[in-house]
Chains A and B, each alone.
Chain A
Amino acid sequence: MWDYSEKVMDHFLHPRNVGEIENPDGVGEVGSLACGDALRLTFKLDENGRIADVKFKTFGCASAIASSSVLTELIKGKTIEEAEKVTNRDIADYLGGLPEQKMHCSVMGREALEAAIENYRTGGTKTRELEGNLVCTCFGVTDREIERVIRENNLTTVEQVTNYTKAGGGCGGCKGEIEKIIEKVQAETLKIPAQPKPQKAAKLKNIQKIQLIQQTINEQIRPALRADGGDIELIDVEGDKVIIAFRGMCAQCKTAEFTMKDVVEAKLKEFVSPEIFVQESSQPSQRQ
């Protein structure tokens, strides 16, 4: 059985804003019966251009219904420009997290919102069309959509992409193509290392510090190591001491110590705090 948060169960059993608005300013429809989940979102703006009312109808599991319900709560009262900034992360975070295999429900929410906004901007004429090239034919997912979800959620594996977009979850024939898209996005991240930069806060709470360390590893360090067939895992944080372990090619690499001092510590000092120092874990790899 899925381990759903109380918030997910609350929004599933008592969904907010169920229904359909008559003569809406924007309509967004995504998913299908065949795919196992679908969402229809309708909204109406007030005279100040704010979303005065928003309603949804969803076919799907508990997390799909809860994600839709939360989406309506998140965008109610917002302007289109503000609503546009809502990501699938925002939906998942508001729900207190979703099981990894259910993250595609939060993505469906964001997609429906996007479709509804586009429909509004084109004066109700345009319904959502797939942009980019079709990668997953089983679930109708394009390269553009996959790239976006990889960027917004810092995804690094094909399995994660499947959890977030369903792509690769049917016949599995497109897994090689997904792998290539991941590599492409990571290569781009390498070329422009300054973006997106983690925000350095003046004084960090412990939990913020750990999150920032993880984010720095994900965005600044891992792509560089992956280019050489390696990987890195955050094991623990004790005060300013960050314990990490190298995986894959890096685990056997003689220059690992150099890499660690040079790249990992420098990056963490730059993005998290100048006091940070790094130590390699003596524990054996957990993944092997």
Chain B
Amino acid sequence: MKTVYLDNNATTMAAPEVLEEMAPLFCELYGNPSSMHTFGGRIAKKITKARQQLADLLHCSPSEIVFTSGGTESDNAAIAGTLAASPNKRKVINSRVEHPAVLTFCRELKNQGYTVVELGVDRSGSLDLKQLEEQLDDNTALVSIMYANNETGVIFPIEQIAEMVTSKGSVFHTDAVQAVGKIPLNLSKSKIDLLSLSGHKLHGPKGIGALYIKKGTRISPFILGGHQEAGKRAGTENTPAIVGLGKACELAAENIEKENTKVKSLRDRLETAILEKCPASMLNGDKENRLPNTTNISFEYIEGESILLMLDKFGICASSGSACTSGSLEPSHVLRAMGVPFTAAHGSIRFSLSRYTTQQEIDFVIEKLPPIIARLRELSPFVA
């Protein structure tokens, strides 16, 4: 059975070109970039190139890039490093729809005596900027707001927020794990101080990510040891993954146009057909300010895990915000924060496409999904 992979916000296939770049780093070019010999020096050049590839995608300076083990480390390091560098400020602001890499970390800060404010969102998943403005004060060390939401794809007005936050003298961090490679970013003209990205979300390898640190931003080192990554993040570099991430960023820059034309039109084709063919279905999140590859649809009166397992029978991979898929007993924190009614939150399905998604695959889903929804509604006590 062929796999129809529409769960690219969870993780992506590494691009074949990425793998090709990485392969020699294991058995041929395995030197340590810190070594004094030419053999190691060749690897150092590859890392320099990768750093440049990231800088090109983000429109920043290579010296502003620190490689990490992934999005979660970047998020944790950005928050912890900023707080350590400004010990007198004891307040952190984030939002209720952040990824757990930010949300859980900030909630833990409460136990350390920090004031932690979680901004709310409205029904379309958009932030309450007035609340942010009210909360910003001299005590605020950091504001961390994601660039785009992983579940709904909703994009936040990050430049506007960065302007607001930095003008008040606080540091601004954004978890851009879902945005990088999907929408164009230009950090040269931005007020963003810190930005997290992850390799495996943009057709790079897993276990690698980066933190962009705007020149002049005060941040404490996050792993102590050797002098790697300008002393910010010690430890021998994960050379194959860094090279792979560099290539993935180069490819992302080449394909960003395609994301916003081909991928977007396939997403719209899928979304329109589903909403039309399935009664009592609705879109979650703002229709306009959205990643081009993501759609999150709720099917009332039925439950997400059941839908996923039936899709799985056809090799279709998606994900759900239902309670049952998470192992917890409550539906997605994002949908709850948006005030999506329980009747719909339990039956939410997210499809996330990539540049490798074909129209054939989309049409296959359009054919298979509506009968699944109808079948599960036959079983539901809430449908007469």
A18 contacts chain B at the CB level, 8 A cutoff: yes
- On B, residues with C-beta under 8 Å from A are 301-306, 309-310, 313, 322-325, 327-331, 342-343, 346, 378-382
**Contact A36/B329 with A12-B306, A12-B309, A60-B324 known, Cβ cut-off 8 Å:** yes
In chain A, positions 154-196 with a C-beta closer than 8 Å to chain B are 162, 166, 169-170
- Could you say which residues of chain A place their CB within 8 Å of the CB of B309? 9, 12, 62
* A60 lies within 8 A of B313 (CB): no
Among B304, B305, B328, B381, the most chain A Cβ lie within 10 Å of the Cβ of B381
Q: How far is the CB of A159 from chain B (nearest CB, A)?
A: 12
Pull 7 A–B residue pairs with CB atoms less than 8 Å apart, ordered by A: A18-B378, A37-B303, A39-B381, A57-B381, A58-B379, A61-B306, A102-B324
* B381 lies within 8 A of A170 (CB): no
- Could you say which residues of chain A place their CB within 8 Å of the CB of B325? 61
Q: How far is the CB of A172 from chain B (nearest CB, A)?
A: 10
B329 to chain A: closest residue by CB: A169
* A169 lies within 8 A of B328 (CB): yes
- Could you say which residues of chain A place their CB within 8 Å of the CB of B305? 2, 61-62
A15 contacts chain B at the CB level, 8 A cutoff: yes
A9 to B302, CA, bound (A): 17
A135 contacts chain B at the CB level, 8 A cutoff: no
**Contact A61/B378 with A33-B343, A37-B303 known, Cβ cut-off 8 Å:** no
- Could you say which residues of chain A place their CB within 8 Å of the CB of B330? 36, 138, 169-170
Among B305, B342, B343, the most chain A Cβ lie within 10 Å of the Cβ of B305
A20 to chain B: closest residue by CB: B381
A31 to B322, CA, bound (A): 16
Q: How far is the CB of B57 from chain A (nearest CB, A)?
A: 33
In chain A, positions 222-257 with a C-beta closer than 8 Å to chain B are none
- When the two chains form the complex, which single residue of B306, B327, B329 contacts A62, counting CB atoms closer than 8 Å? B306
Q: Mark A70-83, 1 if CB is under 8 A from B, else 0.
A: 00000000000000
* A33 lies within 8 A of B301 (CB): yes
* A61 lies within 8 A of B382 (CB): no
- When the two chains form the complex, which single residue of A33, A65, A166 contacts B342, counting CB atoms closer than 8 Å? A33
* A59 lies within 8 A of B303 (CB): yes
- Could you say which residues of chain A place their CB within 8 Å of the CB of B313? 13
* A65 lies within 8 A of B346 (CB): no
* A60 lies within 8 A of B303 (CB): yes
* A61 lies within 8 A of B381 (CB): no
A60 to B301, CA, bound (A): 9
A40 contacts chain B at the CB level, 8 A cutoff: yes
Q: How far is the CB of B158 from chain A (nearest CB, A)?
A: 32
- When the two chains form the complex, which single residue of A9, A58, A170 contacts B329, counting CB atoms closer than 8 Å? A170
B312 to chain A: closest residue by CB: A1
**Contact A58/B381 with A13-B313, A36-B329, A65-B306 known, Cβ cut-off 8 Å:** yes
A169 to B330, CA, bound (A): 8
A127 contacts chain B at the CB level, 8 A cutoff: no
- When the two chains form the complex, which single residue of B303, B328, B342 contacts A61, counting CB atoms closer than 8 Å? B303
Q: How far is the CB of A131 from chain B (nearest CB, A)?
A: 22
B322 to chain A: closest residue by CB: A36
Chain A, interface size: which category? 20 to 34
A139 contacts chain B at the CB level, 8 A cutoff: yes
Known pairs A36-B322, A162-B329; list 13 more (Cβ under 8 Å): A15-B379, A36-B323, A36-B331, A36-B346, A39-B381, A40-B381, A59-B302, A59-B303, A60-B324, A62-B305, A62-B309, A64-B324, A138-B330
- Could you say which residues of chain B place their CB within 8 Å of the CB of A37? 303, 324
* A33 lies within 8 A of B382 (CB): yes
- Could you say which residues of chain A place their CB within 8 Å of the CB of B322? 36, 61
* B381 lies within 8 A of A59 (CB): yes
A33 to B309, CA, bound (A): 20
- Could you say which residues of chain B place their CB within 8 Å of the CB of A58? 379-381
**Contact A139/B342 with A36-B323, A37-B303, A57-B380 known, Cβ cut-off 8 Å:** no
**Contact A65/B379 with A60-B303, A169-B328, A169-B330 known, Cβ cut-off 8 Å:** yes
Closest 8 pairs between A and B when the two form their complex, measured CB to CB: A169-B329, A61-B324, A40-B381, A57-B381, A61-B305, A34-B342, A36-B323, A59-B380
- Could you say which residues of chain A place their CB within 8 Å of the CB of B301? 33, 59
Among B304, B309, B323, B342, the most chain A Cβ lie within 10 Å of the Cβ of B309
Q: Mark A196-225, 1 if CB is under 8 A from B, else 0.
A: 000000000000000000000000000000
A162 to B330, CA, bound (A): 12
A146 contacts chain B at the CB level, 8 A cutoff: no
B345 to chain A: closest residue by CB: A36
Q: How far is the CB of B69 from chain A (nearest CB, A)?
A: 25
- Could you say which residues of chain B place their CB within 8 Å of the CB of A40? 381
- Could you say which residues of chain B place their CB within 8 Å of the CB of A60? 303, 306, 324
A40 to B324, CA, bound (A): 19
A58 to B378, CA, bound (A): 9
* A166 lies within 8 A of B329 (CB): yes
A45 contacts chain B at the CB level, 8 A cutoff: no
A33 to B346, CA, bound (A): 8
- Could you say which residues of chain B place their CB within 8 Å of the CB of A166? 329
A172 to B323, CA, bound (A): 15
A170 to B328, CA, bound (A): 9
Among A58, A102, A138, A170, the most chain B Cβ lie within 10 Å of the Cβ of A58
A115 contacts chain B at the CB level, 8 A cutoff: no
Q: How far is the CB of B147 from chain A (nearest CB, A)?
A: 29
* A57 lies within 8 A of B346 (CB): no
A101 contacts chain B at the CB level, 8 A cutoff: yes
A162 to B303, CA, bound (A): 20
- Could you say which residues of chain A place their CB within 8 Å of the CB of B323? 36
B377 to chain A: closest residue by CB: A59
- Could you say which residues of chain B place their CB within 8 Å of the CB of A36? 303, 322-324, 329-331, 342, 346
A33 to chain B: closest residue by CB: B343
A25 contacts chain B at the CB level, 8 A cutoff: no
A65 to B328, CA, bound (A): 18
In chain A, positions 96-127 with a C-beta closer than 8 Å to chain B are 101-102
